Structure 1
Amino acid sequence: MAVPETLRTTYDRHRPILGEIRRYVADTLRPFCDDRKYIFLDRIKDIESLSEKLESGRYSSWQDLDDLYACTVVIPVPEHEENVLDRLVSSFEQVDVKGREQAKKAPEVFRFDGLRWYGRMRTEEASRRQPGMGDIVFEVQVLTAFEHALALVTHDLVYKADNADWKRLRLAAQLKAAVEQIELIIVAFDHAADSVRVSPWPDTTVKAKIIEGFKDLISLGLLPDSLEPLSWRRFGDNVVHLIQSFERNPHNLSNRVDDLLNAAKIHLEAPESPGAPLSGSLFRYVLSLVQNPLVKGSLDKFVVVDSTNLTELYGIKNIKKRFEFPDEPKF
């Protein structure tokens, strides 16, 4: 599209400054986002998009523009917004902020209402860089993961469409309503889960028994806290897979879990018992219990990641199926 020459001249003059601002903001926010597993995205507004924006007649001067550079921080749920705001306020000079609660809308209306923060470089920081950097206001949108996904899906379908279609706008509003409902459920997940009607499912019941049983052993002080797994759910899955390697009858699965927990309790409570090792993992301790006569188990068909402490700490010997590591590279 044709762009006014005056706009192109001004844009080209400011383009290097925008590039410096982009680098500075990204260097400040990207590590913060990476540490918290937020998504960081940014862009410099292209001249064609800027030209169309100015054609709206809503901007009277170059100083009114607040998104020549803009970035987006994608967070899991709205509760993380305060964390991002604190970082923005401590890193830059705040010019304005438009929160979710400030966007007036009727209860039956569903439209974009994500948090938008506007700021500029601090005067002291800008003074050490090229002239003009402290004058540019930039925008930071803080969106939830679902809002970001919705924006990606609907942006080209609706807001950059080649027509004005009531049906498309209506459908986009319905999708936004669905996103709001999903986020409400996530925020109140534990409370909402209490209202879910339970259907019997043996696999889940057995895993719950495993997790609760070993958590009890830790709470009683029979197992050290250092053995607590990173994910209890994954630990439950792994123990079930282990038992299934030597117990093929699914109806006996719960009984084998009882045997395993009973063997652990007897071993740990025995006066002469050294207890479980303080290092290693809870699952490796479970591997050692399979050899206990009370469990009637075997490791013969289960793939084990071998190591020296498997024998020294856990007394596990004669492993039939070892995980195969690649050979050392030859240079």
Structure 2
Amino acid sequence: MPQSVSNAYSQVEPLLKAVSEYVGQTLRTYCDRSGYIFFDRIKKVESLSEKLEGGRITKWSDIDDLYACTIVIPTTAHEPAVIRKLDACFTRVGMRSRGTTKKAPEVFRFDTTRYYARLTDVAAAERAPGIEGVTFEVQIATAFEYAWSTVTHDLVYKGDRVDWQKQRLAAQLKAAVEQIEMIIGAFDQVSVAVPESEWPDIAAKDAIVERFQELITDGVISTNLTPVSWRRFADNVFALVSSYTPNNHARSNSVEALLVEFATMWRQPSAPPCPESGSLFQMVLGHVGNSDTVGSLEKYTIVNSVEMRDFYKLENVSREFQFDGAQQKLDAGGNPS
């Protein structure tokens, strides 16, 4: 590589390491808390030299990706929040948002949002002189964009040949990614156009969610028992019913019988006060565990706890979950023995 490039790079390399340390610590913590993927890199001098030989960059101060990082988000809906975080932590130099790059309608290529920034004056003042002039790049990519770029980059751009077929295939895959992103962005609207096929299990689970949401809305069940995931709650109730209804053709009727009986019992004036602790599914287990109700717990594995005993009166459990991997043995109430 040219000696001039190597000399200039060696002078800025310590600053790049300092920028990498600060930005990495700042954004990695944020991404871990938000459920995003974060990774970064300092551009190698060999890669920089090849880039400068391309003739598109006219001066050293225009180089904006000697240090670069990527934040991978689930969908584009998360992007505004990420940009607000970047603005709060760094000094924005510029940004190229997705969709702003001009391209023909039949062209499909890399088009991820790129945010360019420097350290704030306060952060720069605490570090080596000159660091305030280092511009770095933050790419904000969706999971599908990241997967496409990661898979195709080495296959297409690091080969020994310029291959039309590989570039064509990479563009076709990018088109598929764009279509997926578009569908996800309008998921609720697009799903309406999907032809529906009747499936008893889905209808039964939807009925479970609807009936229990009604009980909470009507004040019969405390809002404290609202599940974190209604989908998981419905799956669990359906699994419970399936454990005592081996005939899959009869499961929908068994679910309906449980829902009617449960709602009738808790809506009557003589019903006991609704528990405020535990979980909604524990409440269902307590109901099914009564000897005079539909269903049975004999073939269902239950995570026993003090709530099951004190709030839902479930004393005897036929199949109890075993905490065999726990460091301490637990008693029937879930307390260390």
TM-score, with normalisation over the residues of structure 2? 0.93
Q: Shift of residue 116 of structure 1?
A: 0.9
Aligned to 2:335: none
List per-residue Cα deviations over 1:120-166 (Å, max 9, x = no partner): 11223212211111011111111111000000110011122211112
Correspondent of 1:273 among 266, 271, 274 = 271
Q: Distance in 1 between matches of 2:241 and 2:99?
A: 52
> Bigger CA drift: 104-113 or 266-275?
266-275
Aligned to 1:96: 94
The one-letter amino acid of 2:97's match is: G
Q: Distance in 1 between matches of 2:92 and 2:62?
A: 15
Structure 1 residues 101 and 309 mapped into 2: Cα distance closer, same or farther (>3 Å)? Answer: closer
Contact 2:75/2:185 (<8 A) preserved? yes
Aligned to 2:319: 321
1:7 pairs with 2:5: yes
Q: Distance in 2 between matches of 1:41 and 1:134?
A: 22
The one-letter amino acid of 1:234's match is: R
Q: Shift of residue 210 of structure 1?
A: 1.2
Q: Shift of residue 7 of structure 1?
A: 2.3
3-state SS of the aligned residue for 1:118?
Answer: strand
Contact 2:301/2:320 (<8 A) preserved? yes
Contact 1:259/1:295 (<8 A) preserved? no
Q: Distance in 2 between matches of 1:113 and 1:12?
A: 31
Q: Distance in 2 between matches of 1:328 and 1:70?
A: 43
Aligned to 1:54: 52
Contact 2:116/2:138 (<8 A) preserved? yes
3-state SS of the aligned residue for 2:99?
Answer: helix
Correspondent of 1:83 among 57, 81, 84 = 81
Aligned to 1:289: 287
Q: Distance in 1 between matches of 2:249 and 2:286?
A: 24
3-state SS of the aligned residue for 1:96?
Answer: strand
Contact 1:223/1:275 (<8 A) preserved? no
Q: How many pairs does the alignment contain? A: 328
Give the gaps of 5 or more residues in structure 2: 330-337
1:217 pairs with 2:209: no
Correspondent of 2:226 among 212, 225, 228 = 228
3-state SS of the aligned residue for 1:151?
Answer: helix
Q: Distance in 2 between matches of 1:59 and 1:252?
A: 71
Contact 1:120/1:138 (<8 A) preserved? yes
Contact 1:92/1:121 (<8 A) preserved? yes
Q: Shift of residue 236 of structure 1?
A: 1.1
Aligned to 1:298: 296
Q: Shift of residue 71 of structure 1?
A: 0.5
List per-residue Cα deviations over 1:151-202 (Å, max 9, x = no partner): 0110011122211112111111111110010011101111111111111211
List per-residue Cα deviations over 1:205-229 (Å, max 9, x = no partner): 1111111111111111111111111
Aligned to 1:149: 147
Aligned to 1:198: 196
1:31 pairs with 2:29: yes
3-state SS of the aligned residue for 2:228?
Answer: coil
Aligned to 1:113: 111
Aligned to 2:258: 260
Aligned to 1:159: 157
Contact 2:288/2:297 (<8 A) preserved? yes
Q: Distance in 2 between matches of 1:208 and 1:148?
A: 34
Aligned to 1:122: 120
The one-letter amino acid of 1:170's match is: R
Aligned to 1:243: 241
3-state SS of the aligned residue for 1:302?
Answer: coil
Q: Distance in 2 between matches of 1:59 and 1:256?
A: 70
3-state SS of the aligned residue for 1:101?
Answer: coil
Structure 1 residues 108 and 27 mapped into 2: Cα distance closer, same or farther (>3 Å)? Answer: same
Contact 2:109/2:174 (<8 A) preserved? yes
Aligned to 1:171: 169
The one-letter amino acid of 2:106's match is: E
> Bigger CA drift: 234-243 or 259-268?
259-268
Q: Shift of residue 292 of structure 1?
A: 4.2
Q: Shift of residue 319 of structure 1?
A: 0.7
The one-letter amino acid of 2:273's match is: G
Q: Distance in 2 between matches of 1:61 and 1:193?
A: 50
Give aligned-pair identity as a percent.
Answer: 48
Q: Shift of residue 298 of structure 1?
A: 1.3
Q: Shift of residue 256 of structure 1?
A: 1.6
Q: Distance in 1 between matches of 2:128 and 2:77?
A: 37
Contact 1:259/1:294 (<8 A) preserved? no
TM-score, with normalisation over the residues of structure 1? 0.94
Q: Distance in 1 between matches of 2:327 and 2:77?
A: 47
Q: Distance in 1 between matches of 2:289 and 2:245?
A: 14
Contact 1:222/1:275 (<8 A) preserved? no
The one-letter amino acid of 1:248's match is: P
Q: Distance in 1 between matches of 2:99 and 2:178?
A: 14
> Bigger CA drift: 261-270 or 203-212?
261-270
